[in-house]
């Protein structure tokens, strides 16, 4: 595949699909050595192709420094333009291979952190074992970021928290998952027997920041019942957040799969809400005008299966309620939840 200049422009060599592939790999890796290794070519060959591409387009695509390669504004524009072309060409190759009974090709997937930490290791191993001709690339990100990357063709699909706003992507439901109250296993915290969501305003909380999709869900529920969530600490790295809960008297509210490893390790305990339950929905999204390849569907099936299993295992550790009625490590015992003025 080649992209030619418009009639009347200076005649130069056409841009080739291979150059686009090299450019996108370097844009992703941000390092010539790593990109060359990923492409299985020598570093000078990659540098030569990028220089040739810049000359052909008459644009500087990368800023080069000791820290690595960063895209210029022209480079960012070229990513948006070429990623769908390369993706469609790869899908065509995959579909032709499928005619011969093989499932192969490169699949790029985006996962929100809570899904990634629960399934990335096991799902990646399963894909490598079952589909040895699939090259899998997985990244983590916020829901909004992953939506943008799918929309621009940088990802084949992504698993995200169902967004509250309308998106240009096609979305398909994967699962619903309960969010639970969690604290250290031997913490003096004893949630009320009939734990409600508004009770959490009484505790010292650690929550994801407002950039995080899980925090958006919590804030929406808090606003609906008239309370403000004012966490003592905000952490977007969920494993680190779980470590804080396991070693302090702070508490949190997270989906069960995000807590699974800590629950299984016996370092924290989790309690279901008796009322005002919170459920987060996970969906997979893709661009509606780009076909989902057979290889991508195979990867999606593996991840979805592992995710369902992880959620089922995590639910086994969740306590239905606490036996206590107080909250000894709350900011003020038996204090009424804060309510918003007005």
What pLDDT shows up at residue 98? 64
- Residues 6 or more apart whose CB falls under 8 angstroms from that of 295 comprise 94, 103, 104, 105, 106, 107, 131, 134
The predicted pLDDT at position 99 comes to: 63
Residue 291 CA to residue 186 CA, distance in Å, equals 51
**Radius of gyration over alpha carbons of the chain, in Å?**
24
pLDDT digits (tens, 9 = 90+) for 233-247: 999 999 999 999 999
CA distances from 95 to 18, 92, 99, 163 (A): 19, 5, 7, 31
Fold of the CATH domain 175-281? D-Maltodextrin-Binding Protein; domain 2 (3.40.190)
Give residue 28's pLDDT: 84
Are residues 190 and 181 in contact, defined by beta-carbon separation less than 8 angstroms? no
Per-residue pLDDT reduced to its tens digit, 267-286: 999 999 987 788 999 999 99
Burial of residue 5 (CB within 10 Å: 0-12, 13-18, 19+) is middle
Residue 233, pLDDT score: 96
Tell me which residue of 197, 214, 185, 202 sits closest to 280, measured CA to CA: 214
CB 104 within 8 A of CB 92: no
pLDDT of res. 12: 53
Element (H, E) at 98: helix 73-99
pLDDT of residue 34: 86
Q: Where are any strands of DSSP class E within the chain?
A: 2-3, 15-16, 62-65, 68-71, 105-111, 134-140, 157-161, 170-184, 206-207, 233-234, 251-255, 268-271, 278-286
Strands 15-16 and 2-3: antiparallel
Give residues with Cβ within 8 angstroms of 169, minimum separation 6. Answer: 147, 150, 151, 285, 286, 287, 288
What does pTM read for this prediction? 0.67
- pLDDT given at position 107: 92
Phi, psi values for residue 11, rounded to 5°: -75, 125
Please tell me what DSSP assigns to residue 297: H
Tokens representing residue 230 in the block: 């004012």
Q: Within 10 Å of residue 200's Cβ, how many Cβ atoms?
A: 26
User: Which CA distances in Å does 191 have to 187, 221, 243, 318?
Assistant: 11, 19, 20, 13
Cβ-based neighbours of 105, under 8 Å, separated by 6 or more = 90, 91, 93, 94, 97, 133, 134, 135, 293, 295
Residue-wise pLDDT for 3-35, tens only, equals: 444 434 444 556 788 888 889 889 888 888 888
Phi, psi of 234 (to 5 degrees): -120, 130
Domain regions of the chain by residue span:
11-84, 175-281
* Residue bearing tokens 């550790």: 317
Helix axes 238-247, 256-264, angle to 10 degrees: 50
What's the confidence (pLDDT) of residue 294? Answer: 87
CATH of 11-84, one of 2.60.200.20, 3.30.200.210, 1.10.10.10, 1.20.1070.10: 1.10.10.10
Residues 6+ apart with CB under 8 A from 306: 118, 119, 122, 123, 126
pLDDT < 70 positions in the chain: 1-14, 94, 97-101, 321-342
């Amino acid at each position: 595949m080649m992209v030619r200049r418009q009639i009347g422009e200076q005649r130069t060599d056409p841009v080739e699909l291979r150059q686009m592939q090299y450019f996108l790999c370097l844009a992703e890796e941000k390092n010539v050595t790593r990109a060359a290794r990923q492409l299985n070519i020598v570093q000078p060959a990659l540098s030569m192709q990028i220089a040739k591409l810049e000359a052909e387009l008459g644009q500087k695509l990368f800023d080069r420094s000791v820290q690595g390669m960063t895209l210029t504004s022209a480079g960012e524009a070229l990513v948006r333009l070429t990623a769908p072309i390369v993706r469609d060409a790869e899908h065509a190759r995959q579909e032709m291979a499928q005619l011969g009974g093989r499932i192969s090709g490169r699949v790029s997937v985006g996962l929100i952190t809570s899904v990634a930490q629960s399934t990335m290791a096991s799902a990646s191993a399963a894909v490598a074992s079952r589909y040895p001709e699939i090259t899998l690339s997985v990244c983590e990100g916020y829901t909004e970021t992953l939506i943008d990357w799918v929309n621009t063709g940088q990802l084949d699909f992504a698993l995200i928290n169902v967004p509250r706003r309308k998106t240009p992507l096609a979305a398909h439901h994967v699962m619903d998952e309960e969010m639970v109250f969690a604290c250290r296993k031997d913490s003096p915290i004893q949630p009320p027997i009939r734990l409600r969501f508004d009770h959490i305003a009484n505790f010292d909380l650690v929550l994801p920041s407002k950039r995080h999709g899980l925090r958006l869900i919590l804030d929406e529920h808090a606003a609906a019942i008239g309370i403000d969530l004012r966490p003592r600490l905000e952490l977007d790295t969920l494993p680190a957040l779980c470590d804080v809960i396991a070693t302090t008297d702070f508490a949190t509210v997270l989906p069960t799969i995000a807590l699974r490893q800590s629950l299984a390790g016996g370092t924290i305990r989790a309690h279901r809400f008796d009322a005002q339950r919170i459920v987060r929905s996970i969906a997979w999204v893709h661009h509606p005008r780009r076909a989902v390849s057979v290889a991508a569907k195979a990867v999606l099936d593996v991840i979805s299966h592992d995710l369902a299993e992880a959620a089922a295992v995590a639910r086994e550790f969740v306590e239905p309620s606490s036996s206590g009625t107080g909250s000894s490590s709350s900011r003020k015992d038996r204090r009424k939840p804060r309510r918003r003025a007005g």
